[in-house]
Amino acid sequence: MRVPRKCTPQCYLKRVLPALMKKHVIRMTKYDYRLSNKLDTDLQKLRCRVNYHALRFTDPIQKLGEKLVQRMREKSKYFIALHLRFESDMLAFSGCYYGGGEKERRDLGAIRKRWKTLHTSNPEKGRRQGRCPLTPEEVGLLLRALGYGSDVHIYAASGEIYGGEDTLAPLKAFFPNFHTKESLASKDELTPFLTHSSRMAAIDFIVCDESDAFVTNNNGNMAKILAGRRRYFGHKRTIRPNAKQLYPLFMNRGNMSWDKFSSQMRIIQKGFMGDPMEVMLGRGEFHANPAACICEKTDQISVIKSSSGGNQESVDSTGIKKAIGEPAYPIYTDEEADGSDSEDDPTGTGEEMITEDDLTAREEMIAEDDPAATEELTETEADDDSLARQEDSELEEILSD
């Protein structure tokens, strides 16, 4: 059954409880984000018990996820997980443009027609307002500017990247120790999951959750739940790109030295680095910041130290050594850069799919947090809390498969 939007506790008692008592087991689709965030503390704590303790992955998913974590640990004591989210359907849905010329417009335009309710996009405005995923190259620049050296091991969680290896090449040049579930697992190990995009995403979820630092290239459902879970279980770093402020920095990076670029990056990213007390109590969406379930520690102070150039090394809270200084790669100009679920996945690629229902679902989530944002959403397809649209069926599978 589908729960009405903004369903209150009384709504659950009147609508859901009778069905549960009658059938004993029910499946509620698209329900959690429809539950009001303004709940009594005891109910929020119960929500955390369900989200973080009661729900489990099936054994095959859990075991393979744990194997991949172990294999990453064998390669390096510490590793970063990156939710890249640069698949073709994601880019088409966002309405963004990345300099791929007529082919890109044609390819993504054809995919965009899946969603009849989407308005004509304004790619330049979307990028300016931070509503587009960063490119893999930009993600690499972000991490290097924050001080992560080329020796860091990266686990990339994603479906099939738009543009394939050509698109990934700059990121892999920055971080040669680049891994995915496809590179870590054997073909036989992955075969049972290949036609189920949600189960493939669940495997990524487990590895991302166990990483020392998690970097999200969007603020969709999977990213939010991972951020909240990592806060809940003792806190682990989650880095979110401040995309709106980063856009002009990326556009001007060819006109400044690496030291200046890195310094500006650190300033822009203050407040987006996942420090323990970074999000004020009572602020932020419940999934990303389940504050009602976390004991307040008044003696903790969030401090993000910016470093200024030099060939120094520092160690962040994850224990990952970060080489700070001029990287061994060129600074590209803007012109050079421009050249550059349903449960079953019929394509057999395991790629995450966005459905027609996801547009409505995303509007409902945004309207609940900020009613005034709904009108803007229909005009520009996204807001700062929805840089990416994670399919709701994937979310259900992640939590309950």
Helices (H), ranges, 318-355: 334-339
Q: Please name every residue paired with 314 in a beta bridge, in sequence order, or none if there are none.
A: 322
Angle of helix 221-232 relative to helix 197-210, nearest 10 degrees, comes to 30
Indicate the number of domains in the chain.
1
- The alpha-carbon radius of gyration of the chain (Å, integer) is 21
Let me know: does 126 contact 381? Beta carbons within 8 Å.
Answer: yes
CA–CA separation, 287 and 285 (whole Å): 6
The residues, ordered by sequence, that sit 6+ positions from 153 with a Cβ below 8 Å of its Cβ are 72, 75, 76, 78, 79, 80, 175, 177, 179
Q: What amino acid is encoded at 193 in this protein?
A: F
Domain boundaries, position 216: 58-400
Phi-psi domain of 342 (left: phi exceeds 0; alpha: psi -120 through 50; beta: other): beta
Would you say the pTM of this structure is higher than 0.75?
no
Task: Tell which residue, 303, 323, 214, 177, has the closest CA to residue 262.
Answer: 323
The residues, ordered by sequence, that sit 6+ positions from 47 with a Cβ below 8 Å of its Cβ are 35, 39, 286, 290, 293
Has residue 3 been placed in a domain?
no
CA–CA separation, 48 and 54 (whole Å): 9
Residue 258 host element (H or E): helix 258-268
Neighbours of 91 (CB within 10 A): 26
Convert the pLDDT of each residue in 223-278 to its tens digit. Answer: 989 999 998 998 889 999 999 999 999 999 999 999 999 999 999 999 899 887 67
Convert the pLDDT of each residue in 9-64 to its tens digit. Answer: 888 899 889 999 999 998 887 666 667 677 888 988 998 998 899 989 999 999 99
Has residue 144 been placed in a domain?
yes
Has residue 52 been placed in a domain?
no
CA–CA separation, 264 and 362 (whole Å): 32
Q: Give the pLDDT of residue 315.
A: 40
Has residue 184 been placed in a domain?
yes
Q: Which residues of the chain, if any, have pLDDT below 70?
A: 30-34, 36, 277, 279-284, 296-401
Has residue 41 been placed in a domain?
no
Has residue 270 been placed in a domain?
yes
Query: Taking the mean position of all CA atoms in its chain, how far away is CA 247?
Result: 18
Residue in the block written with tokens 């409880």: 17
Has residue 6 been placed in a domain?
no
Let me know: does 140 contact 217? Beta carbons within 8 Å.
Answer: no
Has residue 86 been placed in a domain?
yes
Provide the greatest CA pair distance for the chain.
Answer: 68
Q: Give the pLDDT of residue 317.
A: 41
Q: Please name every residue paired with 200 in a beta bridge, in sequence order, or none if there are none.
A: none
End-to-end CA distance of the chain: 17
Q: Give the pLDDT of residue 391.
A: 36
